[in-house]
């Protein structure tokens, strides 16, 4: 078995794909012609987006992301956290915490995407 997808439920798949492309540089790999499902090229494990309306049609009840009570975060590793943080916020991400060095040697920052998802921008851990 392999871990293949993380699927985020969003209001607008196309705009979510476009945001992640502009903010983090991920290429858009697929957008279904109906506009209710799409994928980013992110390596072996893909980040995918599914319209909340499609999920409701499939009998699911997708909730909204809550920054005050997050239940997960996406973490994107980069060699230049500061530049990546600036690029993300310049593309429309909301700053949550500016880049800071951690005691374990990693530099991290946090932003919120337009859907409310918490995203960590971090340097390699050296592990």
Q: pLDDT for 18-58, tens place per residue?
A: 999 999 999 999 999 999 999 999 988 899 999 999 999 99
What's the CATH superfamily of 74-122?
2,3-Dihydroxybiphenyl 1,2-Dioxygenase, domain 1 (3.10.180.10)
Model pLDDT, residue 68: 84
CATH number of 5-57: 3.10.180.10
Which of 84, 88, 6 minimizes the C-alpha distance to 44?
Answer: 6
Model pLDDT, residue 124: 95
Please tell me the pTM assigned to this model.
Answer: 0.90
Domain ranges of the chain: 5-57, 74-122
Fold agreement (5-57, 74-122): yes
**Calpha distance 115→10 (Å, rounded):** 7
73 touches 118 (CB < 8 A): yes
Which of 120, 118, 122 minimizes the C-alpha distance to 68?
Answer: 118
112 touches 94 (CB < 8 A): yes
DSSP summary character for residue 54 = H
Query: How do residues 105-115 score in pLDDT, each as one tens digit?
Result: 999 999 999 99
Q: Following CA atoms 50, 53, 58, 63 in sequence, which dihedral angle do they give, to the nearest 10 degrees?
A: 80
Confidence of residue 70 (pLDDT cuts 50, 70, 90): confident
Q: Which two tokens stand for residue 40?
A: 């980013």
């Amino acid at each position: 078995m392999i871990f293949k997808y993380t699927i985020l439920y969003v209001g607008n798949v196309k705009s979510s794909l476009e945001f992640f492309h502009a903010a983090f540089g991920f290429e858009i790999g697929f957008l279904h012609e109906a506009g209710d499902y799409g994928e980013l090229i992110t390596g072996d494990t893909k980040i995918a987006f599914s319209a909340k309306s499609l999920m409701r049609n499939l009998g699911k009840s997708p909730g909204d992301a809550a920054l005050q009570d997050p239940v997960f975060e996406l973490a994107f590793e980069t060699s230049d956290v500061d530049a990546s943080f600036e690029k993300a916020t310049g593309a429309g991400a909301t700053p949550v915490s500016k880049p800071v060095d951690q005691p374990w040697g990693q530099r991290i920052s946090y932003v919120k995407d337009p859907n409310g998802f918490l995203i960590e921008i971090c340097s390699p851990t050296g592990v």
